Chains A and B, each alone.
Chain A
Amino acid sequence: KQEVTQIPAALSVPEGENLVLNCSFTDSAIYNLQWFRQDPGKGLTSLLLIQSSQREQTSGRLNASLDKSSGRSTLYIAASQPGDSATYLCAVGGSNYQLIWGAGTKLIIKP
Protein backbone atom coordinates (compact mmCIF):
# COMPACT_ATOMS: atom_id res chain seq x y z
CA LYS A 1 0.00 0.00 0.00
CA GLN A 2 1.45 3.35 -1.06
CA GLU A 3 2.19 5.81 1.72
CA VAL A 4 3.32 9.38 1.19
CA THR A 5 5.11 11.41 3.83
CA GLN A 6 6.02 15.09 3.79
CA ILE A 7 8.66 16.65 5.97
CA PRO A 8 8.61 19.12 7.59
CA ALA A 9 4.96 19.58 8.54
CA ALA A 10 5.53 23.31 8.90
CA LEU A 11 8.26 25.72 7.92
CA SER A 12 8.75 29.42 8.57
CA VAL A 13 11.53 31.30 6.79
CA PRO A 14 12.42 34.93 6.06
CA GLU A 15 11.64 36.37 2.68
CA GLY A 16 14.33 35.84 0.07
CA GLU A 17 15.59 32.49 1.29
CA ASN A 18 15.82 29.42 -0.88
CA LEU A 19 14.06 26.41 0.60
CA VAL A 20 13.43 22.74 0.03
CA LEU A 21 10.30 20.74 0.78
CA ASN A 22 10.52 16.98 0.96
CA CYS A 23 8.18 14.20 -0.07
CA SER A 24 8.82 10.47 0.30
CA PHE A 25 6.80 7.49 -0.89
CA THR A 26 7.01 3.79 -0.13
CA ASP A 27 6.20 2.15 -3.48
CA SER A 28 8.37 3.13 -6.44
CA ALA A 29 5.85 1.80 -8.98
CA ILE A 30 4.35 5.19 -9.73
CA TYR A 31 3.03 6.84 -12.88
CA ASN A 32 3.82 10.36 -11.79
CA LEU A 33 4.19 12.73 -8.87
CA GLN A 34 2.52 16.10 -8.58
CA TRP A 35 3.15 19.06 -6.34
CA PHE A 36 0.18 21.23 -5.43
CA ARG A 37 -0.35 24.40 -3.52
CA GLN A 38 -3.38 25.10 -1.34
CA ASP A 39 -4.25 28.49 0.07
CA PRO A 40 -6.42 28.61 3.21
CA GLY A 41 -10.02 27.62 2.49
CA LYS A 42 -9.29 27.20 -1.20
CA GLY A 43 -8.93 24.41 -3.71
CA LEU A 44 -5.69 22.98 -5.05
CA THR A 45 -3.43 24.54 -7.66
CA SER A 46 -1.15 22.23 -9.61
CA LEU A 47 2.46 23.45 -9.55
CA LEU A 48 4.50 20.74 -11.23
CA LEU A 49 3.93 17.27 -12.62
CA ILE A 50 6.84 14.85 -12.95
CA GLN A 51 6.31 11.73 -14.99
CA SER A 52 7.90 8.52 -13.73
CA SER A 53 10.47 8.64 -16.54
CA GLN A 54 11.57 12.18 -15.69
CA ARG A 55 14.07 13.38 -13.09
CA GLU A 56 12.93 16.98 -12.68
CA GLN A 57 10.60 19.73 -13.79
CA THR A 58 10.98 23.49 -13.54
CA SER A 59 8.50 26.34 -13.56
CA GLY A 60 9.75 29.81 -12.76
CA ARG A 61 11.23 29.82 -9.26
CA LEU A 62 10.09 26.25 -8.63
CA ASN A 63 12.04 23.10 -9.34
CA ALA A 64 10.85 19.61 -8.49
CA SER A 65 13.01 16.51 -8.60
CA LEU A 66 12.08 12.85 -8.54
CA ASP A 67 14.19 9.88 -7.48
CA LYS A 68 12.03 6.80 -7.86
CA SER A 69 14.66 4.37 -6.64
CA SER A 70 14.90 6.10 -3.28
CA GLY A 71 11.22 7.03 -3.15
CA ARG A 72 11.86 10.74 -2.83
CA SER A 73 10.88 14.03 -4.39
CA THR A 74 11.91 17.54 -3.46
CA LEU A 75 10.35 20.89 -4.27
CA TYR A 76 12.88 23.69 -4.39
CA ILE A 77 11.61 27.26 -4.10
CA ALA A 78 14.11 29.96 -4.98
CA ALA A 79 14.07 33.49 -3.59
CA SER A 80 10.93 32.94 -1.50
CA GLN A 81 8.28 35.66 -1.33
CA PRO A 82 5.41 36.28 1.13
CA GLY A 83 3.00 35.24 -1.63
CA ASP A 84 4.51 31.77 -1.52
CA SER A 85 2.94 31.24 1.89
CA ALA A 86 0.55 28.29 1.55
CA THR A 87 0.33 24.58 2.21
CA TYR A 88 2.27 22.50 -0.27
CA LEU A 89 1.10 18.97 -0.99
CA CYS A 90 2.66 16.20 -2.97
CA ALA A 91 0.59 13.43 -4.51
CA VAL A 92 1.65 10.20 -6.14
CA GLY A 93 -0.27 8.80 -9.09
CA GLY A 94 -0.39 5.08 -9.79
CA SER A 95 -2.08 2.65 -12.12
CA ASN A 96 -5.38 2.72 -10.23
CA TYR A 97 -6.43 6.22 -11.31
CA GLN A 98 -6.11 7.77 -7.88
CA LEU A 99 -3.69 10.13 -6.19
CA ILE A 100 -2.19 9.23 -2.84
CA TRP A 101 -1.50 12.35 -0.82
CA GLY A 102 0.99 13.52 1.71
CA ALA A 103 -0.24 15.52 4.68
CA GLY A 104 1.37 18.69 3.38
CA THR A 105 3.95 21.24 4.49
CA LYS A 106 2.57 24.54 5.77
CA LEU A 107 4.96 27.23 4.59
CA ILE A 108 5.11 30.74 6.03
CA ILE A 109 7.36 33.32 4.42
CA LYS A 110 8.02 36.23 6.79
CA PRO A 111 8.38 39.68 5.17
Chain B
Amino acid sequence: KAGVTQTPRYLIKTRGQQVTLSCSPISGHRSVSWYQQTPGQGLQFLFEYFSETQRNKGNFPGRFSGRQFSNSRSEMNVSTLELGDSALYLCASTRGAVETQYFGPGTRLLVL
Protein backbone atom coordinates (compact mmCIF):
# COMPACT_ATOMS: atom_id res chain seq x y z
CA LYS B 1 0.00 0.00 0.00
CA ALA B 2 1.46 3.36 -1.00
CA GLY B 3 2.28 5.81 1.76
CA VAL B 4 1.37 9.46 2.13
CA THR B 5 2.78 11.51 -0.71
CA GLN B 6 3.46 15.23 -0.74
CA THR B 7 4.31 17.47 -3.64
CA PRO B 8 6.43 19.34 -4.26
CA ARG B 9 9.22 18.24 -1.95
CA TYR B 10 11.06 21.55 -2.10
CA LEU B 11 9.97 25.08 -2.89
CA ILE B 12 11.67 28.44 -2.98
CA LYS B 13 9.43 31.50 -3.02
CA THR B 14 9.83 35.21 -2.38
CA ARG B 15 7.97 37.32 0.11
CA GLY B 16 4.48 38.28 -0.99
CA GLN B 17 3.99 35.30 -3.26
CA GLN B 18 1.55 32.52 -2.61
CA VAL B 19 2.11 28.78 -2.57
CA THR B 20 -0.02 25.62 -2.81
CA LEU B 21 1.10 22.33 -1.35
CA SER B 22 -0.50 18.99 -2.09
CA CYS B 23 -0.99 15.84 -0.05
CA SER B 24 -2.30 12.46 -1.14
CA PRO B 25 -3.28 10.25 1.80
CA ILE B 26 -3.00 6.50 2.12
CA SER B 27 -5.78 4.78 0.22
CA GLY B 28 -8.84 4.44 2.44
CA HIS B 29 -7.79 7.19 4.84
CA ARG B 30 -10.33 9.99 4.98
CA SER B 31 -8.69 12.23 7.56
CA VAL B 32 -5.82 14.49 6.55
CA SER B 33 -3.96 16.80 8.92
CA TRP B 34 -1.35 19.44 8.21
CA TYR B 35 1.51 20.51 10.48
CA GLN B 36 4.21 23.13 10.31
CA GLN B 37 7.64 22.32 11.71
CA THR B 38 10.24 25.00 12.45
CA PRO B 39 13.40 24.89 14.58
CA GLY B 40 12.01 27.55 16.90
CA GLN B 41 8.40 26.45 17.35
CA GLY B 42 8.64 22.72 16.72
CA LEU B 43 5.60 20.97 15.31
CA GLN B 44 2.39 22.96 15.23
CA PHE B 45 -1.03 21.88 14.05
CA LEU B 46 -2.47 23.77 11.08
CA PHE B 47 -5.78 22.05 10.29
CA GLU B 48 -7.53 18.73 9.87
CA TYR B 49 -10.00 17.62 7.21
CA PHE B 50 -12.37 14.70 7.08
CA SER B 51 -14.67 14.02 4.14
CA GLU B 52 -14.03 17.48 2.68
CA THR B 53 -14.90 19.24 5.97
CA GLN B 54 -12.46 21.13 8.14
CA ARG B 55 -12.99 19.82 11.66
CA ASN B 56 -10.32 21.78 13.45
CA LYS B 57 -7.94 24.62 12.81
CA GLY B 58 -4.80 25.62 14.65
CA ASN B 59 -3.73 29.07 15.72
CA PHE B 60 -2.45 30.37 12.39
CA PRO B 61 -3.41 33.53 10.51
CA GLY B 62 -6.00 33.47 7.76
CA ARG B 63 -3.22 33.45 5.16
CA PHE B 64 -3.08 29.73 5.78
CA SER B 65 -5.97 27.83 4.26
CA GLY B 66 -6.70 24.35 3.08
CA ARG B 67 -9.21 22.13 1.43
CA GLN B 68 -9.91 18.48 0.83
CA PHE B 69 -11.30 16.91 -2.30
CA SER B 70 -13.76 14.07 -2.68
CA ASN B 71 -10.90 11.61 -3.25
CA SER B 72 -9.42 12.69 0.15
CA ARG B 73 -6.48 14.47 -1.44
CA SER B 74 -5.78 17.73 0.32
CA GLU B 75 -4.14 21.02 -0.52
CA MET B 76 -2.96 23.83 1.68
CA ASN B 77 -2.39 27.35 0.49
CA VAL B 78 -0.34 30.12 2.01
CA SER B 79 -0.91 33.58 0.61
CA THR B 80 1.26 36.67 0.96
CA LEU B 81 4.27 34.66 2.11
CA GLU B 82 6.46 35.97 4.91
CA LEU B 83 10.01 35.02 5.81
CA GLY B 84 8.70 33.29 8.92
CA ASP B 85 6.67 30.88 6.80
CA SER B 86 9.88 29.06 5.91
CA ALA B 87 9.37 25.62 7.36
CA LEU B 88 8.84 21.93 6.75
CA TYR B 89 5.14 21.34 6.08
CA LEU B 90 4.01 17.86 6.97
CA CYS B 91 0.83 16.09 6.03
CA ALA B 92 -0.56 13.08 7.86
CA SER B 93 -3.41 10.73 7.14
CA THR B 94 -5.37 8.38 9.36
CA ARG B 95 -8.48 6.25 9.26
CA GLY B 96 -9.87 7.73 12.44
CA ALA B 97 -9.27 9.90 15.47
CA VAL B 98 -7.86 7.08 17.59
CA GLU B 99 -5.76 5.52 14.86
CA THR B 100 -2.09 5.90 14.03
CA GLN B 101 -1.24 8.97 11.98
CA TYR B 102 1.01 8.30 8.99
CA PHE B 103 3.16 11.14 7.77
CA GLY B 104 4.41 12.09 4.36
CA PRO B 105 8.02 13.19 3.72
CA GLY B 106 7.04 16.85 3.90
CA THR B 107 7.45 19.89 1.71
CA ARG B 108 10.34 22.15 2.62
CA LEU B 109 9.43 25.75 1.87
CA LEU B 110 12.04 28.50 1.82
CA VAL B 111 10.81 32.09 1.60
CA LEU B 112 13.42 34.63 0.51
Contact = CB atoms under 8 A, between A and B. Distances in A.
A61 interface: no
A93 B101 CA distance: 10
Contact of A45 (B48, B55, B103): B103
Given A32-B98, A43-B105, A93-B98, A98 B90 contact: no
Interface in A18-53: 31-32, 34, 36, 41-46, 49, 51
A95 B101 CA distance: 14
B70 interface: no
B88 to A, nearest CB: 8
Interface residues of A, number: 25
B31 interface: yes
Q: From DSSP, what is the main secondary structure of chain B's interface residues? A: strand
Given A101-B43, A104-B42, A31 B106 contact: no
Contacts of B35: 99
Contact of B56 (A42, A44, A98): A98
A98 to B, nearest CB: 4
Contact of A42 (B43, B44, B98, B105): B105
B97 interface: yes
A46 B45 contact: no
Interface in A83-97: 89, 91, 93, 95-97
Interface of B: 31, 33, 35, 42-45, 48, 50, 55-56, 58, 90, 92, 97-106, 108
21 contacts: A34-B101, A41-B108, A42-B106, A43-B103, A43-B106, A44-B90, A46-B101, A93-B97, A97-B31, A97-B33, A97-B55, A97-B56, A97-B97, A98-B48, A98-B58, A99-B33, A99-B35, A99-B101, A100-B45, A103-B42, A104-B42
